[in-house]
Structure 1
Amino acid sequence: MNRVFNVETRAESTSQSSEQPARTSVLRVSFANPNGTTIIDNKYHTAPIKIAKAFPLDGQLGVIVMDVSPGLLDGDRYELEWTSGPDSHALITNQSYMKVHPSMPYGGSSMRQTFCLEENAIVEHMPEAMMLYKNAAFHNDAQVRLKSGSVWMQADVLCPGRTLRGEKFDYRCFRNELAVHYGDELIFSQRQRIEPAKQVITAPGCWEDMTHSATFFLFSDRVSRIHLEQLQAKLDSFEAPAGHSVIAGVSMTYRHGLSVMAASTAAWPLQQLMRELWSTARAGLLGKPPLRFLQG
């Protein structure tokens, strides 16, 4: 179903010296809808990231991103570019947790993703949780550009470390940025910086007793207060599993968007909540049923 791909794979250095220049790995994918079915129109990648699988989902296309390395090592930089043509509809996910490994004192790793959506294009970005190992330093940056009728939604979960190994907020620094443009207008911008050793993580208004956090974003000029009420109803009816508490809230953004923030004491309750919010948004905004193959 997919056209011929332009693919180039390049071996990357595995040296961990902080004096080495950053190792950049690239993935560029474009989606098109030439006859009512979304396909991959073009693709380019360099190791260790690539598209592992693409599969049809009743008119939309699902793609799974594979990282054939152990995860992001010190000095790694991932750049992913997603371009969605008019009326295309793509689901983007990955194979497993994104693991961010320790870095040297002045080192770190980063990932930058750009999503460019043409008229009436839809992108559902539903990656697995992010895991920050002890002494990790990571900068995560996402840029979204929307046009009339397009829809972008994303759910993500952040883990404080390998908690079963006793790691909890032992990473050095996490910077997280998201900017959303509608046409030429910046309609949303968020910047987050967490440095556990310099902050009182358990302070009121911070994490308090929580350890894991999650966000769900929905941006489109189709968004209205009806969708806010639908997501709020889902939050109100969500039952936290025994032994874990979940707190969450939803709000309208400045323009054309909804934002949900949630926290818990484990990743999997938040993953379940994100799936339910995603299903609610699909039904309310897109008129589509849940995608059961990702429903746990």
Structure 2
Amino acid sequence: MLSTIRVNAEREGKVTLLKESSHNAPYKVIHYGSRHLHEHLELIMMSASPGIMDGDEIDITVNVHEGAHLKFFTQSFSKLHPMEKGAVQRTKVQVKKDGLYKFIPHPVTPFAKSIFKTVNEIHLDERATLIWGDIIASGRVHSGESFQFTRLHSVTRVYSNKKLVLLDNQLIEPGHQPLNSILFYERYTHQATLIYVSPFAAELKAELDEILTSQYEEITFGFTQCAPSAVMIRAMGNEGVMLYDWLSAMGQLCWEFTMHKQGLEEAEPEEEEKAPELQASEETPVAKKQPKRTGPKRVKKGVTAKDQAKELKAIPEAPTEEVLKEVFAEAVIEK
């Protein structure tokens, strides 16, 4: 089945609006919570299908126009069912001048004998910013299907001012690779990637050098400035939800940092309005004023990231978001 999704986000005044969207079954794109809750635009991609089937083709096109700010969410884990021929997903993103786009989807879970290829092509204009993530699981671990899929190929190309600045090409073939060895998954079951491409990349790298000073108990990660305008974070873990929460927190930190550098911090919403409920895997933001959360401490040796994720499972963004924002604010004040 061929499925297409198109999204156009444009800025009017201080507000980013959904100017055009189209989709066909089984996918749907709707506002994520109240459309009046933020100056930026938040959308969620939903699906009535149990997952991606053999022969499926998904084409996704996202256009973020000049000065527009878009956060694009997913509904749940992307399940890849057993296949003979395979499935493919193609994503094209265009972010215009001073635009900001954040997309951190739920993990991809390949079932036994699944075959999948995803190709992402992203073009950024001058002063545009991209926050892009992905998480690849080894399979249905608790069903004994770790690394039982046939092939998973993920290609991400990011262009800035028409120049290729980042290429992430991952080909995973469990039948031909020692995936539990060093330089592969090293006995972990999930891999997460966060890409930040922006004119503020070097400054973000300097902040991360100060913030990410401790390793997590159940996550191993590293980060590097892989180009003058690009920073990449790679993390390994054994739980998809935990990695998704952590990656979302890092993505939100990148968002807040970019807004700060652009001088466009948004005020907290004052209206009291509850957004419609969505699946428990990703809670919907609510406009009702909440007492300030103190947030958990960053996870250090002796405190597990798993316990931290369980404690704050209902928070819309990620468990360490408040802590990371506070640390970032302190770093800015000190400078």
Name the TM-score class by shorter chain: 0.7 to 0.9
Q: Report the Cα distance in structure 2 between the residues aligned to 1:237 and 1:56, rounded to whole angstroms.
A: 38
Note the C-alpha offset of 1:39: 0.7
Q: Report the Cα distance in structure 2 between the residues aligned to 1:239 and 1:198, rounded to whole angstroms.
A: 31
CA offset digits 1:19-58 (Å, max 9, x no partner): xxxx211011100112221111111212111203343442
- Alignment check: 8 A CA contact 2:252 2:317 kept: no
Residue from 53, 62, 66 that aligns with 1:82: 62
- Alignment check: 8 A CA contact 1:86 1:120 kept: yes
1:239 aligns with 216
SS of 1:78's equivalent? strand
Partner amino acid, structure 2, of 1:96: S
Q: Report the Cα distance in structure 2 between the residues aligned to 1:108 and 1:229, rounded to whole angstroms.
A: 42
1:294 aligns with 317
Q: What stretches of structure 1 of length at least 5 have no aligned partner?
A: 1-22
- Alignment check: 8 A CA contact 1:235 1:249 kept: no
Q: Report the Cα distance in structure 2 between the residues aligned to 1:256 and 1:35, rounded to whole angstroms.
A: 28
Check if 1:110 corresponds to 2:83.
no
The change in CA–CA distance for 1:255 and 1:57 in structure 2 (over 3 A counts) is: farther
- Alignment check: 8 A CA contact 1:231 1:277 kept: no
Higher strand share: 1
Note the C-alpha offset of 1:267: 1.6
1:180 aligns with 158
Note the C-alpha offset of 1:143: 0.8
CA offset digits 1:86-133 (Å, max 9, x no partner): 1111100111001111101xx001111111011111111021111111
2:248 aligns with 275
Q: Report the Cα distance in structure 1 between the residues aligned to 2:160 and 2:243, rounded to whole angstroms.
A: 29
- Alignment check: 8 A CA contact 1:33 1:86 kept: yes
The change in CA–CA distance for 1:100 and 1:234 in structure 2 (over 3 A counts) is: farther
Q: What stretches of structure 2 of length at least 5 have no aligned partner?
A: 269-284, 286-314, 320-335
Note the C-alpha offset of 1:238: 5.1
- Alignment check: 8 A CA contact 2:68 2:98 kept: yes
1:32 aligns with 10
1:96 aligns with 76
CA offset digits 1:205-264 (Å, max 9, x no partner): 21122111000110112321x311322444323533xxxx31111001223110001111
Note the C-alpha offset of 1:177: 0.5
- Aligned residues between the structures: 267
Partner amino acid, structure 1, of 2:56: D
The change in CA–CA distance for 1:57 and 1:231 in structure 2 (over 3 A counts) is: farther
Partner amino acid, structure 2, of 1:293: P
The change in CA–CA distance for 1:238 and 1:56 in structure 2 (over 3 A counts) is: farther
- Alignment check: 8 A CA contact 1:126 1:156 kept: yes
The change in CA–CA distance for 1:58 and 1:229 in structure 2 (over 3 A counts) is: same
Q: Report the Cα distance in structure 2 between the residues aligned to 1:123 and 1:295, rounded to whole angstroms.
A: 18
**Structure 2 matches for 1:1-12, cutoff 5 A?**
none
- Alignment check: 8 A CA contact 1:218 1:258 kept: yes
SS of 1:276's equivalent? helix
Note the C-alpha offset of 1:72: 0.6
Name the % identity.
20
**Structure 2 matches for 1:61-210, cutoff 5 A?**
61-104=41-84, 107-210=85-188
Q: Report the Cα distance in structure 1 between the residues aligned to 2:13 and 2:244, rounded to whole angstroms.
A: 34
Q: Report the Cα distance in structure 2 between the residues aligned to 1:119 and 1:211, rounded to whole angstroms.
A: 38
Q: Report the Cα distance in structure 2 between the residues aligned to 1:268 and 1:58, rounded to whole angstroms.
A: 26
Partner amino acid, structure 1, of 2:4: V
Q: Report the Cα distance in structure 2 between the residues aligned to 1:103 and 1:34, rounded to whole angstroms.
A: 45
- Alignment check: 8 A CA contact 2:195 2:231 kept: yes
- Alignment check: 8 A CA contact 1:115 1:143 kept: yes
Partner amino acid, structure 1, of 2:240: A
Q: Report the Cα distance in structure 1 between the residues aligned to 2:134 and 2:74, rounded to whole angstroms.
A: 12
Q: Report the Cα distance in structure 2 between the residues aligned to 1:121 and 1:209, rounded to whole angstroms.
A: 39
